[in-house]
Amino acid sequence: MTENNAAITLKPLISQVEIKQRVRELAKEISRDYAGANRDLVVVGILKGAWIFLADLVRELTVPAKIDFMTVSSYGASTKSLGVVKIILDLKCSIAGKDVLVVEDIIDTGLTLKYIIENLSLRHPRSLKLCVLLDKPARRQVKIEPDYRGFVVPDCFVVGYGVDFAERFRHLPYIGYIEEIKE
């Protein structure tokens, strides 16, 4: 693939079939954990990367859930997290006293998600859990672990199924990785 004279080589990592099966399994776990008459679940999708994963996940849930979104930024057009997190779009609903499940595409350094979790915990939810499609523990800089994890991935730059590189490759129905970028 080329754009602006840069050639990017992509290699497959996780197939569309594997993703679909794992999303079903995660939804079953989450549904089991949040079953009960007095639960008020709010699923918070972190945009833009998590929207495809979130849509597929909530369609598989068997418990009622409200959905809200946040947009944060820490990468820009780089392949490395800048370590500075900015909230671009905040939640529209109050999460005080509610069970909150944050859904994110990938946990890498953990800096962004640590910030999000700390920020949301100040809003006094009943519970606060984290669900990620992809976990890249080799790059973790802070102590944070997801409660629900789709796949552990190696230390490479992954794209597809909502995950992007400079706003590209989100549309891929599978997870791949960028093998090389030639300018």
Active site residues: 108
Strands 99-107 and 86-89, by their bridges, are: unpaired
The two structure tokens encoding residue 44 = 């918070």
Q: Taking the alpha carbons of 32, 170, 159, 85 in that order, is the dihedral positive or negative?
A: negative
Helix (H, G, I), strand (E, B) or coil at 26: helix
10 Å CB burial of residue 85 (0-12, 13-18, 19+) is middle
Name residues whose C-beta falls within 8 Å of residue 4's C-beta, 6 or more positions apart in sequence.
Answer: none
